Chains A and B, each alone.
Chain A
Amino acid sequence: MNPKCRRLWFSLFLPLAVLSLHNEVFDEQLNIRSLPDGKVASRFSFTTVLVGASPPTPQNHSSQDDPRHYSLFPLALGQILHEYAVTEMHLTLNAGKWNYDHWGYPDEDGVGTGAELWAWMGDGAVSTVDERWRGLRNALAGLFCASLGSLDELRTTSPTMMFAPGALSNRTSTHSLRHASLPSEHVCTENLTPFLKLLPCKSLSGIATLLNPHRLFDADWHGMGLHVSWLPQQGVQVKLTFQTISDPLRPQSSSRDWSFASVFERTIQRSCPVATSSQIVVALPFGVPYTINPQPSLVDQGHAIFDVVQSGPLDVSLHWPSGFQYSTTRLAETTFSVRRTLKGYTQDNGQLSVLLRNDEDSPVNIAYLETMPWIIQLYLHTLTLEVDGVSRNDLLQNITYIPPVPHSRATLFQIVLQIPSRSTLKLTMDITKAFLRYTEHPPDAQRGWDLPPAVFVRLDGRPQRRIYAPALLVDLATPDFSMPYNVIIFTCSLIAFIFGSVFNYLTRRFIVLPVPS
């Protein structure tokens, strides 16, 4: 069927779609900007709004049986949200390490490595929030082909400050937050396939045609996100995002020109017919000459906006005639940055060290969240804060600490700090590493365990941006897996033999006694 014919059929069916119970609006947008180190950051955003809907209430979620006639809103997701009465949910699957110094703040906040899932669910249902959390994890694991089922109580916490909801329905009394992250999770085509299936136009038309897995998963950093939230004025919104940082300088290091064909190896052939708006927003460089091809439909405040619906086949390219040279000074794109490391090289203990740098002229209040698995024990009494070698414990304002329970519960450690202007705060804390049971080791036990990224939030006023520190690797003491029983038996035999012999030699003496017959 040629495109014109397809459009005809769509336009016939569109009014029918409108006749469904809720009005559904689908928008898509692609933001592209070039970064100072020559890389290209792109963010795909696909938003479907179920106008006028409100999140399912926990009291009667399982008995609610109203038919869900969705045409654009993904049905599989809608069923999951209803089943587990989820008000707000965010799932991100990322690979790579986001470099805040070079790339600034991301368009979407959730850039922690691996899988991160957090959800606000209302209390008061027949099933508890934890049971629904479990069901939600498994359902999403099935939907996205990810191992989210492992986000169990060993990794789940309820942090209080970091993950504020957008808006919570006032029909339910209280909502609870559940948050878990799995830094060792991979992202691959099997996660992208269901992601695309949740879009109305799949990857056949519109901006989603650019999502070529062979290029996306070659990017320096890539991650997808699913964000479900309730906008009180509009309705339930499902936003699917995909962010990448691509490097046009990787094969050759002279020019930072990029185009859709060079970055994604795809071009947009036609627009998605059911999209209300479909835009490509390119941040234009300033101070250097450039050429952009084709001419944008609109240039607004340093951004070139292309309307995909209006233009035909589209391949945007940006060309810098003056070439590119790497900067020889350290880049610092954000005024606040974080560096977290785990010092120590034994399998017994170590030291967690966090450096927080504030380049602004005024002090900054931040909240710092650590959700460690129980294998790392933090020793709070060794917590020290130093600025330029001077101990400054007054900068610590609040500590929330839920200690871990070995083999069952994760640590929740949350503190509020103030960092003075133009200074670097160094936070250190001693830790010990647990000795695991023989069966608790993962299959690649000699590699170690990934510790989830720490989350930092600036508490001053403006929209809270979350900053993620990279994941850390900690290696714990491992037994000899190849022959555990041999080792135990051999050691015990040796000790028994040595002890027995020495003891006998020291205490036993044989004397021949004649026995009178």
Chain B
Amino acid sequence: MRLLLFLLVVALVSAASQHEEVVGDFFSRSSNHTNNWAVLVCSSRYWFNYRHMANALGMYRTVKRLGIPDSNIILMLADDAACNSRNRFPGSVYANPGRLLDLYGENIEVDYRGYDVTVENFIRVITGRLDSSVPRNKRLLSDAHSNVFVYMTGHGGNEFLKFQDNEEISAWDIADAFEQMWQKRRYNELFFMIDTCQANTMYSKFYSPNILATGSSKLDQSSFSYENDADIGVSVIDRYTHYVLEYMENINKTSQTSMADLFAFYDPVKIASDPGVRSDLFRRPLDQVRITDFLGGVARAEVSDDDL
């Protein structure tokens, strides 16, 4: 009798471990994430910072195209570029001179706009400490299995980013906010991309695990704008984001392209500054991390014949 029980237990355990293996194998082949979130921040206002809004909107379009739904995207635009009365093409934001692609489109949700884009609101969104009256679509409802993509653009400097030209967020603030996220289990892996002057200094202070960071220029270097559109009258996009978006145009939902490929594509001559990557806090090797792990909203599904 006891032998039978023992054999039954062994059989169950081995079956379970076999299933565990299958399940574990399923999860280990890729990232551990089950959902994707994106936080896209354009922190500068005024019409002449059109290119920062185009940066954020370019990322927004890419992220939506690759599958993250609006409910999982927090888009913060500090000013209104599309319906600005100075805009010759109302309702449109273009990212290249020649105006081939309208980034604003007809289906867009901006979660924080105008004066609401402040350092306080950004940190509240990241850490989740929002007042109870704040509606759902303004919250970052990520969990321990979310991969979060944070993109920031604006005017910045050595370890700071200017919000709305009158306040600043420092690299320490962002690092602490991300640590709070980690402590509260609000992300599985986090990809931080920033396009400002001296951008690489902004991620130099991170200390939480599973963060992969990249920036457009290093200390004492400015990030430059790409080109001016003579009908709109301002520069329409920054160099770094332009080349990143150009690369992303070749990615679709099923691409297997990895982050290492993206980083290898960086060309300091074309971008006119030295983009950097910080991967020491990130546990997976970069050539196994797919771009769609962060920028796409792809849920991995595998058809299995076994019953689990």
- Name A residues whose Cβ lies closer than 8 Å to a Cβ of B: 95, 134-135, 138-139, 141-143, 145-147, 149-150, 184-190, 192-194, 203, 212-218, 441-445, 481
Contacts and interface: CB of A to CB of B under 8 A. Distances in A.
Contact of A138 (B105, B114, B134): B134
Nearest to A185: B114
B91 A216 contact: yes
A443 B113 contact: no
Q: Name the residue among A187, A203, A217 with the largest chain B CB count within 10 angstroms.
A: A217
A185 B133 CA distance: 21
Nearest to A138: B133
A441 B166 CA distance: 10
Contact of A189 (B45, B83, B137, B138): B83
B83 A95 contact: yes
Q: Name the residue among A190, A192, A193, A217 with the largest chain B CB count within 10 angstroms.
A: A190
A214 B91 contact: yes
Q: Chain B contact residues: over half helix, strand or loop, or mixed?
A: loop
Contacts of A185: 114
A213 B115 contact: no
A189 B102 CA distance: 12
A443 B164 contact: yes
Q: Name the residue among B91, B104, B165, B166 with the largest chain A CB count within 10 angstroms.
A: B91
Contacts of B164: 443
Nearest to B114: A147
Given A139-B135, A142-B138, A217 B91 contact: yes
17 contacts: A142-B111, A142-B134, A145-B109, A145-B111, A147-B113, A147-B116, A188-B91, A190-B108, A190-B110, A193-B107, A193-B109, A213-B104, A214-B91, A441-B166, A442-B115, A443-B115, A443-B165
A147 B115 contact: yes
A363 B129 CA distance: 57
Interface in B106-124: 106-111, 113-116
B271 to A, nearest CB: 29
Contacts of B45: 443-444
B80 interface: yes
A194 B109 contact: yes
Contacts of A149: 116, 134
Nearest to A132: B133
Contact of B90 (A141, A143, A218, A442): A218
Interface residues of B, number: 32
Nearest to A143: B135
A442 B116 CA distance: 11
A130 B265 CA distance: 55
B108 A142 contact: no
Nearest to B45: A443
A213 B91 contact: yes
Contacts of B135: 138-139, 141-143
B115 A142 contact: no
Contact of B82 (A141, A184, A188): A188
Contacts of B114: 147, 184-186
B93 to A, nearest CB: 10
B29 interface: no
B106 A187 contact: no
A189 B107 CA distance: 7
Contacts of A184: 114
Contacts of B2: none
Nearest to A192: B106
A189 B109 CA distance: 8
What 5 A-B pairs come out closest when comparing CB atoms?
A142-B135, A188-B83, A443-B164, A190-B110, A138-B133
Contacts of B115: 147, 150, 442-443
A216 B45 CA distance: 24
A220 to B, nearest CB: 11
Contacts of A188: 80, 82-83, 91, 104, 110
Given A142-B138, A145-B110, A218 B133 contact: no
Given A138-B133, A214-B91, A217-B83, A150 B116 contact: yes
Interface in B73-109: 80, 82-84, 89-92, 104-109
A405 B108 CA distance: 39
Q: Name the residue among B111, B135, B165 with the largest chain A CB count within 10 angstroms.
A: B135
Contacts of A135: 133
A286 B105 CA distance: 40
